[in-house]
A and B are shown apart, each in its own frame.
Chain A
């Protein structure tokens, strides 16, 4: 069997801080095959952006990979020479960032950016510019020639995010990582960008990894979802299973808190009691246990990963197996 396009095994990442290392990722696993759209959900601080950065090899200098591997087509990219890592970025894998307002350099035009981003191609300048123009048209920008000459601040947030998507697709990457692609946008623009990303699925052959704290976005776009909590993947399921047959108590609690799921107005929005564990000193047992309604004596021991079906796994003593 062909190796999966992207495979993250047992990845652990710690950020060095003045008060000691913060274990942002603790043995995260993820598999993505060509053509799949993967969702990663979880609340702020659960490690989903660290995971995205690790895939792109863009971890900040304070972050250290303490274990595990990120394999692209079977090859561990974390052990590649910096030059080889760089060669993958932009060509084999590309990223769409959260904040389109600051994602572009204010003194360069959109055209400058889009041509620069094709630096690994040997095509002449004019060909690159033409390619940039085609991509802009593809993401639904009506006047690509004008956009190419514009500076980032002259475009709206939605237009900039379209440009960001066009930029990410310039070199036909096999892996596209979208880190909170709609979080910084207003609701109307968000709907347009979601629509665009969904249309993209028809033509794009590679894998898309969508990171979001927004369950609606994940439901709209993804085939398969990973739910993260405190640096670990706690549940993995097909999107329908996740929304209709979630097993992990955290996933259930998260779904119960989604305002979109309430048919009527409620006087008080439900929340998950308690808070995230301190990742400088992560709990020995199940990290969700202190906030969990189902916890029992065995939750003080780290739970095993259990497959409840071939496509549905969960990290829990109580509901697994």
Chain B
């Protein structure tokens, strides 16, 4: 188990390095000199030279890469080209907003998705199941930014129940929670549908398994059979899907943060890309990639923890 954990962490680090190299390569592959693109057509050569130097683009490529990695290892992600603020500070400011958005969205997905999936199984083939099937598929099909706009219109603009923009007042938890409801729903609703379908399929397969028949043959109450014998097993394959889905949750957070004007990594990265603010782009990608890898690695370890068969296969 420990060697498996180390192996997974090592693999995650390798992927992280490859991603960073690929990102660095992109800076040079994008047509046009970053400094002149960023400054526009009327920039003076002196200004261009200044910006090129500030971005570190006047150095040979290998030196740039070396600098980037060694600085990163020291916890220095460089400074914002425009505001000269350290990138790390900006990310540290934005990341919690995105993280809480992702977690709450995932929470919706887990609670509603698993519940709807289990209900579908219990009422399999009856109208409840069919209605839930249609609802789940529509949840999956509608893009999160469309959901975001509709939620915004209905609950913020028409009904005035919830705030339309921002992340709530600092220090005011109630306003922060209120500001979180609509964006997290917009991000998570597709996952509600997706998880409901997955849990349903996975449970139906398990409900037909011999061990479920055994449990019934011993007269165990149906509730116990569904929740202890079937759901526990059905959860295992969904964990890795949820972890993978975190990537898409982060990317839909980019849109949703824009719609709701929430501060967060999404807002930070879109702004930085438009302004060719490379240190900020690189730093944001590094942090999101690292976070994503962390979650996937954690999911793999969690699966090994939950499924004794996987655990034993690893021990061999």
Q: Do A and B come from one complex?
A: yes
Q: Which residues of A contact B (CB under 8 A)?
A: 56, 58, 86-91, 94-95, 97, 99, 102-108, 116-117, 119-120, 151, 153-154, 167
Binary interface encoding of chain B residues 206-235 relative to chain A, with 1 for a CB under 8 A from any of its CBs, else 0: 000111111111111100100011001100
CB contacts (< 8 Å) of A107 on chain B: these are: 232-233, 236, 306-308
- Closest-by-CB residue of A relative to B208 is A60
- Pick 12 A–B contacts, CB within 8 A, sort by A: A87-B219, A89-B218, A97-B214, A103-B210, A103-B214, A104-B214, A105-B229, A105-B232, A107-B308, A116-B220, A119-B221, A154-B312
Question: By the criterion CB–CB under 8 Å, are A99 and B210 in contact?
Answer: yes
Distance between A174 CB and nearest chain B CB, rounded to angstroms: 14
Bound Cα distance A287, B273 (Å): 79
Partner of A89, one of B210, B217, B307, B308: B217
Bound Cα distance A319, B170 (Å): 94
Bound Cα distance A21, B137 (Å): 34
Interface check B85, CB cutoff 8 A? no
Interface check B67, CB cutoff 8 A? no
CB contacts (< 8 Å) of A153 on chain B: these are: 308-309, 312
Bound Cα distance A94, B283 (Å): 63
Question: By the criterion CB–CB under 8 Å, are B218 and A167 in contact?
Answer: yes
Distance between B199 CB and nearest chain A CB, rounded to angstroms: 16
Question: By the criterion CB–CB under 8 Å, are B309 and A151 in contact?
Answer: yes
CB contacts (< 8 Å) of A105 on chain B: these are: 211-212, 214-215, 229, 232-233
Question: By the criterion CB–CB under 8 Å, are A106 and B219 in contact?
Answer: no
Question: By the criterion CB–CB under 8 Å, are B213 and A58 in contact?
Answer: yes
Closest 4 CB pairs of A and B: A89-B219, A90-B218, A90-B219, A102-B210
Known: A107-B236, A151-B309. A89 touches B211 (CB 8 A): no
CB contacts (< 8 Å) of B221 on chain A: these are: 86, 119
Known contacts A58-B217, A107-B308, A117-B218, then 12 further A-B pairs from the complex at CB < 8 Å, ordered by chain A residue: A58-B216, A86-B221, A89-B219, A95-B217, A104-B211, A105-B211, A105-B215, A106-B307, A107-B236, A117-B220, A119-B219, A154-B308
Question: By the criterion CB–CB under 8 Å, are A151 and B308 in contact?
Answer: yes
Known: A107-B306, A107-B308. A90 touches B217 (CB 8 A): yes
Question: By the criterion CB–CB under 8 Å, are A119 and B209 in contact?
Answer: no
CB contacts (< 8 Å) of B216 on chain A: these are: 58, 89
CB contacts (< 8 Å) of A104 on chain B: these are: 211, 214
Bound Cα distance A120, B224 (Å): 13
Distance between B203 CB and nearest chain A CB, rounded to angstroms: 13
Within 8 A of A (CB), among B23-58: none
Bound Cα distance A108, B230 (Å): 11
Question: By the criterion CB–CB under 8 Å, are B232 and A88 in contact?
Answer: no
CB contacts (< 8 Å) of A58 on chain B: these are: 213, 216-217
Distance between A170 CB and nearest chain B CB, rounded to angstroms: 8
Distance between A160 CB and nearest chain B CB, rounded to angstroms: 11
- Closest-by-CB residue of B relative to A120 is B219
Known: A116-B218, A117-B218, A167-B218. A97 touches B308 (CB 8 A): no
CB contacts (< 8 Å) of A91 on chain B: these are: 219
Bound Cα distance A107, B302 (Å): 13
CB contacts (< 8 Å) of A89 on chain B: these are: 216-219
Within 8 A of A (CB), among B231-262: 232-233, 236
Bound Cα distance A94, B232 (Å): 25
CB contacts (< 8 Å) of B228 on chain A: these are: 108, 116
Question: By the criterion CB–CB under 8 Å, are A97 and B233 in contact?
Answer: no
Question: By the criterion CB–CB under 8 Å, are B233 and A106 in contact?
Answer: yes
Question: By the criterion CB–CB under 8 Å, are A103 and B211 in contact?
Answer: yes
Question: By the criterion CB–CB under 8 Å, are A88 and B219 in contact?
Answer: yes
Bound Cα distance A153, B219 (Å): 23
Bound Cα distance A311, B210 (Å): 36
Question: By the criterion CB–CB under 8 Å, are B308 and A106 in contact?
Answer: yes
CB contacts (< 8 Å) of B220 on chain A: these are: 90, 116-117, 119
CB contacts (< 8 Å) of A88 on chain B: these are: 219
Identify which of B214, B221, B228, B232 gathers the most chain A CB atoms within 10 Å of its CB: B214
- Closest-by-CB residue of A relative to B308 is A151
Distance between A199 CB and nearest chain B CB, rounded to angstroms: 23
Distance between B129 CB and nearest chain A CB, rounded to angstroms: 14
Bound Cα distance A124, B215 (Å): 20
Partner of B309, one of A97, A102, A106: A106
Distance between B161 CB and nearest chain A CB, rounded to angstroms: 42
CB contacts (< 8 Å) of A154 on chain B: these are: 308, 312
Bound Cα distance A87, B219 (Å): 6
Distance between B297 CB and nearest chain A CB, rounded to angstroms: 21
